[in-house]
Structure formats: C-alpha cells, structure tokens
Structure 1
Amino acid sequence: MSTPVLEIGKLNKTFLTSKGAVHALHQIDLTIKEGEFITVIGPSGCGKSTLLKIVAGLDNRFDGDVKLSGKQVTGPGIDKGFVFQEPRLFPWLTVEKNIAADLSLRNPQVRQKVDELIELVRLTGFEKSYPRELSGGMAQRVAIARALLRNPKVLLLDEPFGALDAFTRAHMQEVLLDIWQKNRTTMIFVTHDIDEAVFLANRIVILKPRPGAIRAVVPVDLPFPRKKASTSFQQLRYTVLNEFEKIEELELIDSSGI
C-alpha cells in the first residue's frame, strides 16, 4: 500500500445560495494509498458527502486539486465506483442484470465477471431474483457488486448502511470487509457511526463543520478480524469520540462569541 491513488490538495468548495455564499470545504489535504480503506466521519453538515461527490467527479465546481492516479478528476468515469445510501436498483431487472447494468450478459467476459461478483457479495442462488424479492442488505450488496464491475480504482460509499437495522448493518460491515480483503479495491466510506468507522478503516478522517475541514486523521492499527468489545477497539473508539467532543467545545465557543 505505498502508491498514492488519490491526491487531494488545498480543496475548497463554496455553495452560492439565496442567503449568500456557504463555505462547505476548506483546505482539504489528503493522500490515499492504493488498497487503503478510509472512513470519513464528522457531524452533520461538515461536508462528508460533498467531498465524496467531488472525488467521484459529480461536482467539478471547486478550487484545488483532486487527482486520481495522477490525473485531475474532471467528471464521473468507470475508474470511480459510487454506492449511495439507497441501492438504486432497476426494479424491472434481475440481480445479475442489475450488476451488468448496460453491459450484455451474452458477452462471456461480462458473464464471468458478474458471476464472480455475485459469489464475492454472497448472493449465489439469487441471480434471477428481482429487487422486490431482496432484503435491504441484499439489495445493497447488488449495488456494491455493480459499482465493482468495471474494476474502479476507488470505490466511494456514502453511508451505504445508514438505512439498515443494527443486525443487518453489522452483517454488511463483515461482508464489505470480506470484499475489500479479497479485492483490495481502495475504498472511501462515509459514515456517522464511530464504531463502524473504527471497525472498517485503516485510517479515519475526522471532519469538523463550518467550514468542513480535517480535524484529525486517526490511524487504525488493529488486526482483522476486529472485536468491538476488545480493550484496544474501545481505546481507539475513545480517541475518535474525544475529537468529536473537542469539535463540540469549539462550536460552543464560536456560537457564544467568546
């Protein structure tokens, strides 16, 4: 994991609204190495999703540099996979056709890749099922497989488990880690959940709001599989929680005018 796949330098993002300019992101500097699993966490309104959309090429109105494999990101492309909070599957297509998307399953290479991904996301036996026949976790696994179809250099996940119940969410965390360990795709995962951030990441990027800026980057050196009840896990959880408390203290000071 030594080659930088994503380089973000002096990234600033401002939204123009009817009430004036809103500075969403301020001086974001971040380098992500090939094969890393990064989680991004922070209070609501700190720019987590905005940052992800810029990296995905869905928003190109910003100042600064965002380079993927040395090339400036100017728009969406097959080198960037994106998974939203909702699966966004086509209801009239089966699991295998949703994964294939605009590619034909009659192509032997596409067929082979789709079959491999179905096995990777643990959906063997559900190839011919429709979205209405799937649970929320299964539908999200289809979305992840679809995002991986073209072997993206980075997979961007915007709170993909946020709408799931606690049991399904924990299961999906295990599934995603298994996918990452087998595939080694570079992943950037946005979440509000501290336990989830510690459980998944090599590094945790903590953002503070107004404007969104990096408060801290916390390395996670725990071996896999991780146990959330372990002392080392809870110590790292406390480290992240402590940064959140500092953010809240700063916000109280700002709001009081001290």
Structure 2
Amino acid sequence: MTYCVAMRLDAGLVFLSDSRTNAGVDAISTARKMTVFEEPGDRVMVLMTAGNLAISQSVRQILIEDHDEKRSLWTARDMFEAASIVGEAVRQVHRRDAHALRDAGIEFNVSLIFGGQVRGERVRLFNIYAAGNFVEATPENCYFQIGEAKYGKPIVDRIVHPSLPLAEGAKCALISMDSTLKSNISVGLPLDLLVYEADSLQVTRFVNIDERNAYFRMIRDTWGHRLRQVFGEIHNPEWDPAAPAEFSLARSGEADRWAQPVRARRVHPRKPD
C-alpha cells in the first residue's frame, strides 16, 4: 500500500512518497510516509517507510522519542551510524511484536529508505530491511524504491544517473509515481516531495502534492500524451522477410528450431484389437 522512491545525486537528494495505507472498495485511508529530522546547519535526515503501518509507525516513534544523549539521530557522528540506529529501532520493534504477529498469521513486514547529510560528510542514502540490516546507494545504483516499485521502475532505470540535476531527478520521480498511480490502486495521493541540495544542511524544497497541483496534472497529461505519440511513431512489425523494411522482424534463411513455435502433437487413442 505504498510507493516511495529516493535518489542520491551529485547535487543532493530527492525523496518522494505517496500516502495511501488502505484501498478497499469502500475504505480508502491515508497516512504520510515521510518524516524529516532536521537541525539546520548540522544535519538533515529523511525517513520513508513501507509495509505494515503499525510497525513503521512504531519504528518512527522510537526514533522521535529517543532521548539518549550519546546515541540517537541527533547525536550520530555520520549517516552510517544514523542508519545503524534506525536498524536498531527496527529490531527493537521486532523483539516486541514479531511473536504476537506470527501467532496472528501476520508477517513482520517493513522496509525503509533513509538518507541525508551530517555536517562534515557527503550526502548518503540507505535502504533498510525488516531485519534491521541495510545497503547504501552507490554511483552504480544511486536510487532506491520500496513498496509497489515495479510500475515506476522502468523510467527511473533509463533516466537516473548521479550527474542528473536535482530538478530533473524530481521530475523523473514524479513521472515514476504517476506510472505507479496509473497501474495500482493501492498507491494514492497526496504525495510528499522533498529535494535536498548537498551541503545546505537544511530542507531545500518541499511540497505536498494533491490532485489540484498544476505541475503534477501537467506531468500526468503530458507523459500519457507523449507515450502515445512515441508509440505511434515506432514502426509496426514486418513479418515478411522478403518485404523491404529497415527493421525486419522475421529472420530470413534460418531453419533452426527457434524459427518455429513449440507445437503439441495430437495423440490419437489406440483402437481396441
């Protein structure tokens, strides 16, 4: 019941989350999936959650209410330590709730994206799993998705690279979200979009997007129209290998087993003697 995407770019970070938590026939509910931990001039951290809402809210509340002066998100020396603290909160909730959930036939299901910057180090981005372990974004894989990721993945795979400007990263994230909204009712508006400029150490840009947002409506209309336009411009398949075509679909002069489909043969019953 969620889609979240985040990108770690050379210029900073882009975070986008939806807010749908239930999508029954007559019961649609929402809850915001993004939480910001900010101390301007020292650190900015963003947490996005997917999975069981009770679990993710418990993890978030532990992090918010953590008053440990020696080890908390507010005192972490770097983003790696901060990601470890988030993972410890996940494991704390697992110790408390996993057995009862298992008895009720419910899986301990939560995943998180966590990223930001602590003064003195670079921007960093992590994907944190239900076991509390995590992986970090790299130049080769500079984005993460959680929740209903498959619908919005193709555009991100083709477009996102570390040198992408932040504005284009935000545009790509919104197109990815629109593709997901189009194909999956369990993801829904409003959206939270946060763009963080590296080394600013404060939230740079944030907007909550609902169905009245003019830019997102333009994205939806333009992307759908242009996809249909490009689709119409691509040549239809040419089946006759002898016909002149720049891109022939059929393979000429190949008589191997791949040139024919696998055929089932009808077996006639034996006649009794």
TM over 0.5: no
Structure number with higher helix proportion = 1
Output the TM-score relative to the length of structure 2.
0.29
> Which is higher, the Rg of structure 1 or of structure 2?
2
Output the TM-score relative to the length of structure 1.
0.30
